[in-house]
Structure 1
Amino acid sequence: MEILETAFMQRALLAALLVGVTAPAIGVYLVQRRQALLGDGIGHVAMTGVGLGFLLSTSPIWTAAVVSVVGAVAMELIRAYGRTRGDIALAMLFYGGMAGGVLLVNLSDGGSTANLSSFLFGSLSAVSDADLVAISLLAGFVVLVSVGLRRQLFAVSQDEEFARVTGLPVQALNLLIAVTAAVTVSVAMRVVGLLLVSALMVVPVAAAQQVSRSFRATFVLAVGIGVVVTLGGTTASYYRDLPPGATIVLLAIGIFVALTASAPLLRRAPRERTPECAAPPREPSVPTQR
């Protein structure tokens, strides 16, 4: 295939595959916790890390990961203890991260608006060998946490009070979810971009929820959708010269719309396959609300 003959597209496709797995894998917990926009806030903070990477002439992925983790921990502590002024503190953190990133990029010798744009919206040709190594290591951490601790993370995402009663370290698990989300932002920013990474965390999960009835099914289907849209969007970007981040997100939204429209038909399908000669099934009793 022509797309696999160039080295930069091989790196881009591998990075897209890793992003397609990691973003929905942690996004399923964020959606369960009703923190769908957490990735967007972390993306703003990560801009300071990108600018710091340009200023120090080092890999922006690693500096963005460090700054994102610090910002995510601060967000979680503000959420837990911020009370009535927490929203103002979060707003200052988000906007300060964005402003700091723009300022540091312009202060650096090799920084420019074009360089920053590749991190904001993604770029196929921007994934280097060093970036791919960093993305692979960070993605491994995300998969290890999201899969290895899925029972504990689901419990704390579903009901914090119940998880606390059962003896789980709720605060530590909450911080771990925030840190893993921050690492995921750093993984995805080369492919999807900092401004669109939150959509890839949320939309595949929301699409999977339209047709799945269990957490496990939602998790697996969301990751599958993530892989399909990232690889499909990256391929379409190569052949049609489209921005990869926007293409990937629009594909994910398209799948969400298609599954939402077909969900009622999929739910009726088992009933319609009942043989005509069979006795009609008894209607399940519906408990009345008191």
Structure 2
Amino acid sequence: MLEALIEPLQYGFMQRSLIIAILVGLLCAVVGSYLMVQRLALLGDAISHSVLPGLAVAFILGFNIFVGAFIAGVLSTMAIAWIRTRSPIKEDAAMGIVFSAFFALGITLITLIQKDNKIDLNHFLFGNILSVTVDEVRDTAIIAVVVLLVVVMLYKELLFYTFDPLGAEAAGLPVNLLNFGLMLLIALTIVASMKAVGVILVLSLLITPGATAYLLVKRLHQVMFLGAGIGIFSSITGMYLSYFFNLPSGPAIVLVVSGLFLLALFLSPSHGIFTHPQNEPKSLPLLRELKQLIR
């Protein structure tokens, strides 16, 4: 057993990949907890899809593609806020409009680039954690430290804003700055996670660890700590499964964290479907209506 755990660590690429996996698992769980509590999972999806044009433009101009991705993520959040404040369009509709437009633009630009340069689009979409370099490990570590420091320093303010935006505004907190700052943290987290799981699968790491923890504990800081543990465990386990069974690393990580969510959903001491069957009557009205239609 011990030999199986040590064997992958003999290779430099696995060492770098595991470091990235741990950082990403921690980072996504902490930042994603705010998204889940605010019921803004679609926002994470919108930003993750919106970074593609930035990747393409940065590649064309010869810049760091992660800087381009971050700028595109920020622009997408600004576009969503602008549509929401300057029109009667609701926020969820604005997110859908912006992320689909940005994603389509990114795919188009990358397709045009591929005519002259061989770029594997799958690496952007689904990640390629096994090819991370030392510089990318360093950049991810810097992003993780910056994001976690901001979360620690602004924890009380973000907590107040997350659960009671109107109360936070009445108390004099800069709610617009807090909201924009949270969007920046999400964009940074997505940029840091692109190499590990790609823009398509990053939403799972942002939401699922926090959702799993939410079924087991009640307070936000507990959700963050437990979610971080779940994210790290899932990332490491997914990497080992990828190594021993020759599976794609990003999807393997996502499958592990999704499996843990299902376990919590079924067996949670306070919300489990099997452990608390009295929760099931919430779905009975729908079943009764279906039976009436059949009759």
Q: Which TM bucket (shorter chain)?
A: 0.7 to 0.9
2:60 is aligned with 1:40: no
Q: Deviations over 1:138-168 (max 9, x none)?
A: 2222111222211111111101011111111
**1:251 paired residue number:** 256
2:184 is aligned with 1:173: no
TM-score by length of 2: 0.83
Distance 1:170 1:11 in 2: 38
**1:74 paired residue number:** 79
SS at match of 1:192: helix
Is there any run of 5+ residues in structure 1 with no aligned partner, and where?
268-290
- Counterpart among 53, 58, 64 of residue 53 in structure 1: 58
Is there any run of 5+ residues in structure 2 with no aligned partner, and where?
1-5, 273-295
Residues 59 and 131, structure 1, Cα contact 8 Å, conserved in 2: no
Aligned counterparts, 1:104-123, within 5 A = 104-108=109-113, 111-112=117-118, 114=120, 116-123=121-128
Cα shift at 1:107: 3.4
**2:218 paired residue number:** 213
Aligned counterparts, 1:159-238, within 5 A = 159-238=164-243
* Distance change (3 Å), C-alpha of 1:44 and 1:266: closer
Cα shift at 1:79: 4.0
**1:28 paired residue number:** 33
Residues 42 and 92, structure 2, Cα contact 8 Å, conserved in 1: no
User: Across the two proteins, how many residue pairs are aligned to each other?
Assistant: 266
- Counterpart among 242, 247, 252 of residue 247 in structure 2: 242
**2:266 paired residue number:** 261
Q: Deviations over 1:88-113 (max 9, x none)?
A: 54333212211222232233377445
Counting aligned pairs with the same residue, the percent is: 32
Residues 215 and 271, structure 2, Cα contact 8 Å, conserved in 1: no
Q: More displaced, 99-108 or 219-228?
A: 99-108
Residues 25 and 232, structure 2, Cα contact 8 Å, conserved in 1: yes
Q: Deviations over 1:28-83 (max 9, x none)?
A: 11111110121111111111111123212333222111211221233244445543
